[in-house]
C-alpha cells in the first residue's frame, strides 16, 4: 500500500509541473465531463418527452422530435457533443410543456458545461456595460467568468439580461451558496499561500501538494479488504465398507514344524 501511495504522489507531483513552468491555463471541462452531462440530460429530457401527450395535428412533429433525441443519444455514445441540436430540441419540447423541473438539474449541469469556450462578438449587461470579443471561461452558480478584448471579468447573474437568465437558470439562493463556498476556498488558499511563503515554497507547488495529500488521505483511510468468511462445511461421513470374503489363514508355524520333523 505504501509503495502504491508513493506512486500516486509521484504522478500528482508530475501533473503539477506544467503549472509551475508556465501560466495557469484557463479552466475548461474535459470532453468526458461534457459527454457525461449530455448523456444525463438526453435521458432526462427523453423521459420527460415521453410523458407528454401530443395535441391533435402534431403527432408527426412529435415523432420527429423523438427521432432527433434518438440521434443525439447515438452521437453521445460515439463520443460526439451536440450542443446546438440538443438546445434546439429542448426549446421546442419546452413549448409543449411547462414542467421544466422534470429535467432541471440535468439541464443546468449540461448547459453550463457546454457553454465553456463559447465566443460572442459582444456582451452587454443590463446596466449598459459592453464587453467585446468575449469568450466564456466558466459558468458558475454566481454568473459568468469571461475573457474579453481588454482582459477578464466576472459578471454576477443579476447584471445579465433575461436571455442569459433563462438559459442558465440562476437563482439568488444558489448564488449565495456559491459565494459562501468561494469565500471559504479563498480563505483556505490565503492560509496555504502564507504557509508556502513561510516555507519558501512556490504557492502553486504548495497547492498541488495539498491536493495530493487530500487524495492520499482518502486512499489510505479506505476500509481494508476483509477476506470473506468461510462457511463451515458439513462433517464428512465415512463411506460404508462392504465386508470382504476372507480366505482362512494358513498356519505357517505348523507347516514349518512338520517339515522339520520329516528332515529328521
d(CA 262, CA 20): 113
For residue 18, name the pLDDT band (cuts at 50, 70, 90). very low
Residue 64: its pLDDT value, please?
A: 96
What confidence score (pLDDT) does residue 213 get?
A: 72
Q: Which residues pair with 155 in a beta bridge?
A: 144
Of 23-27, 127-131, 203-207, 212-216, the range with the highest mean pLDDT is 127-131
pLDDT of residue 168: 93
Evaluate whether 3 touches 80 at the Cβ level (below 8 Å): no
Determine the Cα–Cα distance for residues 189 and 164; give it in Å rounded to an integer: 31
For the chain, give the mean pLDDT.
76
Residue 85: CB atoms within 10 Å:
14
Within 8 A by CB and 6+ apart from 124, the residues are 130, 131, 161
pLDDT single digits (tens) 31-46: 889 999 999 999 999 9
Res 249: pLDDT? 53
pLDDT of residue 15: 39
21 pLDDT band, cuts 50/70/90, is: very low
CA distance 221 to 208: 20
Residues 139-182: pLDDT tens digits? 998 899 999 999 999 999 989 999 999 899 988 776 566 666 66
Residue 16: pLDDT over 50: no
What angle (nearest 5°) sits at the alpha carbon of residue 114, between those of residues 108 and 117? 135
Tell me if 205 sits within 8 A of 20, measured CB to CB: yes
**Residue 143: left (phi > 0), alpha (psi -120 to 50), or beta?**
left
**Whole-number Å distance between alpha carbons of 166 and 176:** 19
- The gap from C-alpha 215 to its chain's centroid, in whole angstroms, comes to 15
Contact (Cβ atoms closer than 8 angstroms) between residue 173 and residue 188: no
**What confidence score (pLDDT) does residue 217 get?**
65
* Residue 192 banded pLDDT, cuts 50, 70, 90: confident
The pLDDT tens digits for 210-252 are 767 766 665 665 555 555 555 655 665 655 655 655 555 555 5
CA distance 197 to 202: 7
pLDDT of residue 225: 55
* pLDDT over 70, % of the chain: 62
Amino acid at each position: 500500500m505504501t509503495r502504491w501511495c508513493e506512486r500516486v504522489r509521484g504522478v500528482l507531483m508530475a501533473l503539477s509541473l506544467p503549472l509551475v513552468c508556465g501560466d495557469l491555463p484557463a479552466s475548461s471541462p474535459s470532453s468526458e465531463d461534457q459527454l457525461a452531462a449530455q448523456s444525463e440530460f438526453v435521458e432526462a429530457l427523453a423521459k420527460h418527452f415521453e410523458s407528454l401527450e401530443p395535441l391533435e395535428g402534431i403527432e408527426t412533429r412529435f415523432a420527429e422530435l423523438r427521432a432527433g433525441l434518438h440521434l443525439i443519444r447515438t452521437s453521445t455514445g460515439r463520443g460526439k457533443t451536440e450542443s446546438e441540436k440538443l438546445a434546439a430540441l429542448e426549446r421546442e419540447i419546452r413549448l409543449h410543456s411547462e414542467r421544466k423541473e422534470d429535467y432541471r438539474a440535468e439541464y443546468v449541469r449540461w448547459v453550463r458545461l457546454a457553454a465553456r469556450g463559447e465566443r460572442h462578438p459582444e456582451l452587454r449587461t443590463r446596466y449598459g456595460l459592453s464587453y467585446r470579443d468575449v469568450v466564456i471561461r466558466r459558468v458558475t452558480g454566481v454568473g459568468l467568468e469571461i475573457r474579453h478584448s481588454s482582459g477578464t471579468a466576472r459578471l454576477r447573474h443579476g447584471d445579465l439580461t433575461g436571455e442569459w437568465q433563462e438559459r442558465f437558470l440562476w437563482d439568488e439562493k444558489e448564488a449565495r451558496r456559491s459565494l459562501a463556498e468561494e469565500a471559504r476556498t479563498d480563505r483556505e488558499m490565503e492560509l496555504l499561500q502564507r504557509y508556502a511563503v513561510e516555507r519558501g515554497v512556490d504557492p502553486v507547488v504548495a497547492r498541488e501538494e495539498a491536493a495530493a495529500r487530500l487524495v492520499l488521505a482518502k486512499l489510505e483511510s479506505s476500509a481494508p479488504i476483509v477476506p470473506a468468511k468461510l462457511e463451515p462445511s458439513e462433517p464428512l461421513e465415512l463411506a460404508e465398507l462392504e465386508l470382504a470374503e476372507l480366505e482362512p489363514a494358513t498356519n505357517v508355524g505348523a507347516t514349518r514344524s512338520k517339515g522339520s520333523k520329516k528332515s529328521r
